[in-house]
Structure 1
Amino acid sequence: MEHEMPIFLWKRAKLTPNRVAIQMGETALTFQELHEKALELAGKMTAAGMKKGQYIGILSPNSVEMIVMIHALKYVGAITVMLNTKLSPSEVSFQLEDARVSHLLTDSSLIDKAAQSAKGRTVTVHSFEELQRMPSASIVPIQTISLGDTDTIMYTSGTTGAPKGVKQTYGNHWWSAIGSSLNLGLREDDCWLIAVPLFHISGLSILMRSVIYGMKVILHEKFDATRMNQAIHEEGVTIVSVVTAMVSRLLQEENGAPYPASFRCMLVGGGPVPVTILEKCSSLSIPVYQTYGMTETSSQIVTLSPEDSLQKIGSAGKALFPSEVMIMSEADEQQHDNLPGEIVVKGPNVTSGYLNRPDATRDTIRDGWLHTGDIGYMDEEGFLYVLDRRSDLIISGGENIYPAEIENALVKHHAVVEAGVTGLEDETWGQVPVAFVVVNSDDVEEKDIIAHCLTHLAKYKVPKHVYFVQNLPRNASNKLLRRELLSLLD
């Protein structure tokens, strides 16, 4: 039987009611105030027909209202489907259908996208403002949960291009927070700045840590290098979570000034940090800790400990305390350390599988180990080095982009016979997607293909360039060789 414990916010409001939980601009809420607002909203949600066990979507930019919504749904006992605001209506629509979402909660700025996404679906759309105006029903809020209960669903694209809903339990979030604190430590004055989206695990995991640790969070709607640097200097921020592209911009805006001594951790995910950036941060006494993780591991699962950050430049570190990492050869599925192989991970922060996808779950999780599809090696001291992020994966500004998903959209164009997509190095974003297409018409132009993609894909997934070629590189089994696509430009 899974261990039961109090809902995180419920318990935190009893322990430290007067501590500030969340601050955004001039708005600040204590844990008690956050609890009361969430409880009140849970009553309104119940009046609107939301029930325990339902899958309820949230489509919103970062906001205090969104945080209240997230916690209110836990008091209702619903499962929260976190939706990426950058997705096109057709992409959101797929996820609503796949998760059998009954209600979609959205910020008023996205009400049109929400309505378009829900069109033709049995989904009731509520704006945050509309929900706040509703009468409140009498409810008995959920106060305890089992760590095995599913709390949130986040979609991640698979190598086939079909997004899959990752199940994240309360236990996954709990152990992710515990593993992080055992590695980074926890100080009474800790304050974590969120400038990454809450609909990503990088943002949501900080929110979970906030109520588990009793830690203040400063929330920004989106990343702004000037504002983040100012918060670090003037608002007592001790920890931030960023991706590599954000680090570069922070350094540019900082103009060579060191960060205050109170700032103790810049946690960097989304791919390796170039050595030149690490060295520049070191010269400015900016503590940068590289991490390795994914939606399926409820944030980081491997992190470089503070004492090793300079001795092991380029490494993602070691597995967090409750977790394990292993390198497995694809040929014989045996453990190998010093040789490159597939990174497999295990631990209580790792998902139990994908929503409504038993086949994908069986393919990915075997004997309790999650097969990441990423390639890496471990040195003689057990430090992980990531060589390829899922060999074909494109990481652009911290966003994971799977070529197959873009290729599926490209071949829907009437003139496209074949399509191949890969990543091109980019100074700002790390990588950007570019497409190579074989067409059956001389009349189609790059702008036509890009316009077509904009109707099917989120903007960050749309190829930055489209190259027209006679043939795509394939092996003897006719499998597309994406790694050879860029050689067509020579």
Structure 2
Amino acid sequence: MTKYGCPIREGAVRFPDAEALTFGGRSWTYGALDAEVDHWVAALEARGMGAGHRIALLATNHAACVFLFWALGRLGAVLAPLNARLTRAELAPLVEDVSPSLTLALGALAERLPGAESLESFRSATSSSTARTLDERSARVILLTSGTTGRPKGALLTEGNFRASSRASAANLGAHPAPRWLGTLPLFHVGGLAMLTRTAYEGGCLVLHERFDAESTCRAIDEESVSHASLVATTLERVLDVRAGRRVPETFKLALIGGGPVPVPLLERARAVGLLALQTYGLTEACSQVATERPGDADGRTAGPAVPGTELRIVGGDGEVCGPGQEGDIEVRGPTVMAGYWQRPDATNEALRDGWLRTRDLGVLDSRGRLTVLSRRTDLIVRGGENIYPAEVEAVLANHPSVQESAVVGVRDARWGEVPVAFLAPRAGHERPSDEALESWCRESLAGFKLPTRFLWVDALPRNAMGKLERTVLRKSAES
């Protein structure tokens, strides 16, 4: 089995003066980043961290997140990054699930993670030369998400997953001597981590921003020689609004657009200013990209073919593989597919069958093998690239004293792609609260992006003869 060293250490040997990371007005060469990571390894060793230990992290994008990620790799330890937009109540079950040996948090977020040590001051004054080798099966990250049942699931991604994802992306997008990826996606999402690892494996530079900002993104494209970026439809539109028809420089090669279908007029608007925007379909369990348009063969009408090294198929309800034009469940096989769900053997066995990842998304392949995604999981709502699980929102609403039961569905939205709308059945003998009161109730337990945009009261929720909630009926009602 192939053994891998730390790509930052390798870069420090091969091209020590090449730029590896920028953040907050500072820059690190591979040599400087290698030395910084050594200090973080020493700090982790001083806390007793080593191979197999799990470290939970609550942070927005920060250079320290990069230092920590590569330091954990040198120790063989595993990172469990937590969504910085979640509330204290939402984070608690995720931390309990991963049972970390150490928790770290940026100072501004520390109150949400009791017992967490400060990320900013974690660095050691001494350094360490420890640098374990890893192989394809070495666990690197547990990416936690609340499942449709509300119980957390953590996708376990390996060194082999990240390296295969990097190879596939490079093969699909074309070789670049030293790519400079703009890091606006959060490092607690697979897309952000894919950029972090991809630049290191390819000897490039991660131009890391704390968060997405359209003005800052345009400056990075124009002034910092950024070559690649990953966006969603809403952020692409905001970038184009700022540019106001101004063309991108030749140094900028392309942007991957994920998070759901992208309006063709928006893609055409991007190309009018020289910004090649490629649609992509991916998921956490497959370490980011599964299918992506090819630069020389992109029309914005599909998510493209499977990336090199990945197999993609559509399976019907009878388990038979569908032909071109036939709709069914999207399944994926290849070296980017996760090792499984952390401590969830039943969920793992349900998701992985004979090496195929059952995404539970619906799609169709055309005669050229290009994928069109019809639905990203039956109930899942994708709002501007953020996943919202109806069961989680419904549970919060159902706890309101005036609500007998609730149902949340996604409806089409021009800006966000989809937004959540809540249907509520009243509890007898209780006065119906105002929309403002319901929103305030939800904010106590839910991140802002999960809040319903509307609250619609009905006498009773529609159910079929089997007692199953008819979400399609509710969705049509909300859209009408």
8 Å CA contact retained: 2:325, 2:365: yes
Name segments (4+ residues, structure 1) moved above 6 Å.
none
8 Å CA contact retained: 2:234, 2:416: yes
Q: Which residue of 2 aligns with 1:119?
A: none
8 Å CA contact retained: 2:221, 2:227: yes
Return the offset for 1:422.
0.9
| Structure-2 change in CA distance of 1:129 and 1:283 (3 Å) | closer
Q: Which residue of 2 aligns with 1:332?
A: 319
- Indicate the larger mover: 216-225 or 410-419: 410-419
Q: Which TM-score applies when normalising by structure 1?
A: 0.94
Aligned equivalents of 1:348, 1:199: Cα separation in 2 = 21
Letter aligned with residue 187 of structure 2 = L
Cα RMSD, aligned residues only: 1.7
Q: Which residue of 1 aligns with 2:360?
A: 373
Aligned equivalents of 1:42, 1:71: Cα separation in 2 = 9
Q: Which residue of 1 aligns with 2:162?
A: 173
Return the offset for 1:336.
3.2
Q: Deviations over 1:83-122 (max 9, x none)?
A: 110011122111111011121111111111122xxxxxxx
Aligned equivalents of 1:171, 1:32: Cα separation in 2 = 25
Q: Which residue of 2 aligns with 1:85?
A: 84
Aligned equivalents of 1:404, 1:415: Cα separation in 2 = 18
Q: Deviations over 1:265-299 (max 9, x none)?
A: 11111011101111212222211111010111111
8 Å CA contact retained: 1:63, 1:221: yes
Return the offset for 1:454.
1.5
Q: Deviations over 1:138-161 (max 9, x none)?
A: 856233012101100111332323
8 Å CA contact retained: 1:192, 1:218: yes
Return the offset for 1:320.
1.1
Matched, 1:435 2:422: yes
Letter aligned with residue 76 of structure 2 = G
8 Å CA contact retained: 1:289, 1:306: yes
Letter aligned with residue 472 of structure 1 = L
Letter aligned with residue 463 of structure 1 = P
Letter aligned with residue 243 of structure 1 = V
8 Å CA contact retained: 1:162, 1:405: no
Return the offset for 1:40.
1.1
Letter aligned with residue 118 of structure 2 = S
8 Å CA contact retained: 2:21, 2:205: yes
Return the offset for 1:391.
2.5
Aligned equivalents of 2:149, 2:318: Cα separation in 1 = 22
Letter aligned with residue 119 of structure 2 = F
8 Å CA contact retained: 1:226, 1:253: yes
Aligned equivalents of 2:135, 2:325: Cα separation in 1 = 39
8 Å CA contact retained: 2:81, 2:188: yes
Aligned equivalents of 1:257, 1:38: Cα separation in 2 = 39
Matched, 1:131 2:118: no
Structure 2: gaps of 5 or more residues: none
Q: Which residue of 2 aligns with 1:71?
A: 70
Aligned equivalents of 1:328, 1:314: Cα separation in 2 = 22
Letter aligned with residue 94 of structure 2 = Q
8 Å CA contact retained: 1:205, 1:299: yes
SS of residue in 1 equivalent to 2:116: strand
Letter aligned with residue 355 of structure 2 = G
Aligned equivalents of 1:450, 1:26: Cα separation in 2 = 38
Matched, 1:196 2:177: no
Aligned equivalents of 2:78, 2:145: Cα separation in 1 = 17
Q: Which residue of 2 aligns with 1:33?
A: 32
- Indicate the larger mover: 244-253 or 420-429: 420-429
Letter aligned with residue 116 of structure 2 = V
Aligned equivalents of 2:279, 2:364: Cα separation in 1 = 16
5 Å-filtered alignment, 1:81-480, equals 81-115=80-114, 124-132=115-123, 136=126, 141-310=130-299, 313-440=300-427, 441-480=430-469
8 Å CA contact retained: 1:164, 1:357: yes
SS of residue in 1 equivalent to 2:445: coil
Q: Which residue of 2 aligns with 1:57?
A: 56
Aligned equivalents of 2:325, 2:411: Cα separation in 1 = 29
8 Å CA contact retained: 1:156, 1:295: no
Aligned equivalents of 2:467, 2:301: Cα separation in 1 = 35
Aligned equivalents of 1:455, 1:143: Cα separation in 2 = 43
Q: Deviations over 1:136-184 (max 9, x none)?
A: 5x85623301210110011133232323100000000000000000111
8 Å CA contact retained: 1:290, 1:315: yes
Aligned equivalents of 2:232, 2:359: Cα separation in 1 = 20
Structure 1: gaps of 5 or more residues: 116-123
- Indicate the larger mover: 237-246 or 477-486: 477-486
Letter aligned with residue 73 of structure 2 = K
Return the offset for 1:330.
1.6
Aligned equivalents of 2:477, 2:305: Cα separation in 1 = 39
Q: Deviations over 1:232-273 (max 9, x none)?
A: 111111111001111111111110111112211111110111
8 Å CA contact retained: 1:155, 1:166: yes
Aligned equivalents of 1:327, 1:443: Cα separation in 2 = 45
8 Å CA contact retained: 2:402, 2:431: no
SS of residue in 1 equivalent to 2:462: coil
SS of residue in 2 equivalent to 1:130: coil
Letter aligned with residue 127 of structure 1 = S
SS of residue in 1 equivalent to 2:296: helix
Q: Deviations over 1:340-389 (max 9, x none)?
A: 10000011011121001111111111111001111110111111111111
Q: Deviations over 1:436-471 (max 9, x none)?
A: 111212243333332222222222112122212111
Return the offset for 1:33.
1.1
| Structure-2 change in CA distance of 1:407 and 1:452 (3 Å) | same
| Structure-2 change in CA distance of 1:334 and 1:183 (3 Å) | closer
- Indicate the larger mover: 2-11 or 15-24: 2-11
Identity of aligned residues (%): 36
Letter aligned with residue 113 of structure 1 = R
Aligned equivalents of 1:479, 1:6: Cα separation in 2 = 52
Q: Which TM-score applies when normalising by structure 2?
A: 0.96
